[in-house]
Structure 1
Amino acid sequence: MSLKGRALKYLAAREHSRVELMRKLGPHAESPEQIEQVLDELERRGLLSAERFAESVIHRKAARYGAARLKAELAQHRLPEDITRAAAQQLRESEFDRARALWLRRFGTPPDTPEERARQTRFLAGRGFAGDVIRRVLRGDEPIGD
């Protein structure tokens, strides 16, 4: 299978970043320049897109993770700064609603002991939600606009 064929196979399954495709195609290429040429062509033809990759990651994972965690994941893929910044802004706007929905699915009731409060706080913090958002969720604040 050609390098371009492999890249198209990966892209047909889901969006990939340029960094991911370079790593996956590496063992099958004769040189890094060959991979660069294939990826440049795919970008020119609109088949490889950093914007679509960022949207895909957010769509797949936003319900389970906070802005900090998703921003870190996008940074690992070395996306352009403007794309990462726009994605982070979009995530921050919906952070409280997403954290509250996750908290309701996981716990559903406010903590009644300091230990339970700490456990719920650790859970949400581990998922990358901001401290002020976690405090609002555990206090039982209602979403803004309701």
Structure 2
Amino acid sequence: MALRLLARREHSRFELELKLRQRKLDAALIDRVLDDFEEQGWLSDERFADIYARNRINLRYGPLRIRAELQQKGIRFVPESLAAITDRQWCEIALLARERRFGLADLRDDWTARAKQARFLGQRGFSAEQVEHALDVKSQEEAGQQG
């Protein structure tokens, strides 16, 4: 059963253990099986965290949300794929998320739209500085000059 779950997608040890416990399996048996899977290389929290983080980055989520989601899945470390991204790159990802959802209109005089876009980016997991940077870009030309 555990192998079938792993065959579908990567799981963290915590996730897989939770799913198996929900099926009322013996806790000692679950631990032995998961230890064996880790020894065989079939179960790896590092691999799971890296794949999960890259996937969420590609979907234009920010670092705060990705870290929170990983913690919910039992991952207490920052994967390399997340740690390797600079603040400047996060600002560019926030800008891409804004552009995809709202376009790059000038928001200097439209406080309602600015607040709406700031809430969206904040919920996506970007820091206040990253959100401000994304909202300050007014056009494609300006976006190209900053990148």
Q: Same fold by TM (over 0.5)?
A: yes
1:145 Cα offset (Å): 7.2
Q: Tell me, yes or no, if structure 1 residue 42 matches structure 2 residue 15.
A: no
Q: Letter of the aligned partner of 1:89 in structure 2?
A: A
Q: 1:117 to 1:135 in 2, by over 3 A?
A: same
User: Does residue 1:60 correspond to 2:55, yes or no?
Assistant: yes
Of residues 26-35 and 44-53 in structure 1, the stretch that sits farther from structure 2 once superposed is 26-35
Cα offset for 1:57?
1.1
- Paired AA for residue 96 in structure 1: C
Deviations 1:65-99 (A, max 9, x none): 10000001111222243xx2645423455311211
Specify the code of the residue in structure 1 equivalent to 2:66. Answer: L
Superposed CA deviations along residues 9-60 of structure 1, whole A, max 9, x for unmatched, are 1111110011111111114454211100000000000000111111221122
Do the aligned partners of 1:66 and 1:99 also contact (CA within 8 Å) in 2?
Answer: yes
The answer to whether the Cα contact below 8 Å between 2:94 and 2:121 also exists between their aligned partners in 1 is yes
| Residue ranges of structure 1 left out of the alignment (5+ in a row) | 1-5
* Contact 2:53–2:66, Cα closer than 8 Å, also in 1: yes
Gap regions ≥5 residues in structure 2: none
Q: Give the SS at the match of 1:65.
A: coil
SS of match in other structure, 2:84: helix
1:116-135 to 2 correspondence within 5 Å? 116-135=113-132
Among candidates 79, 94, 97, match of residue 99 of structure 1? 94
The verdict on how the C-alpha distance between 1:75 and 1:8 changes in structure 2, with shifts beyond 3 A counting, is: same
Alpha-carbon distance, 1:109 to partner: 2.4
Contact 1:67/1:92 (8 A) holds in 2: no
| RMSD over aligned Cα atoms | 2.1
> Which amino acid is the alignment partner of residue 38 of structure 2?
E
What are the equivalent positions in structure 2 for 1:3-22 lying under 5 Å apart? 6-22=1-17
Question: Does the 8 Å contact 1:66/1:127 carry over to 2?
Answer: yes
Conservation of the 8 A alpha-carbon contact between 1:68 and 1:128:
yes
Of all paired residues, the percent bearing the same amino acid is 35
Call closer, same or farther: CA 1:144–1:91 in 2, change over 3 Å: farther
What secondary structure is seen at the aligned counterpart in 1 of 2:50?
A: helix
* Aligned residue identity for 1:100: L
CA contact (8 A) 1:99 1:134 kept: yes
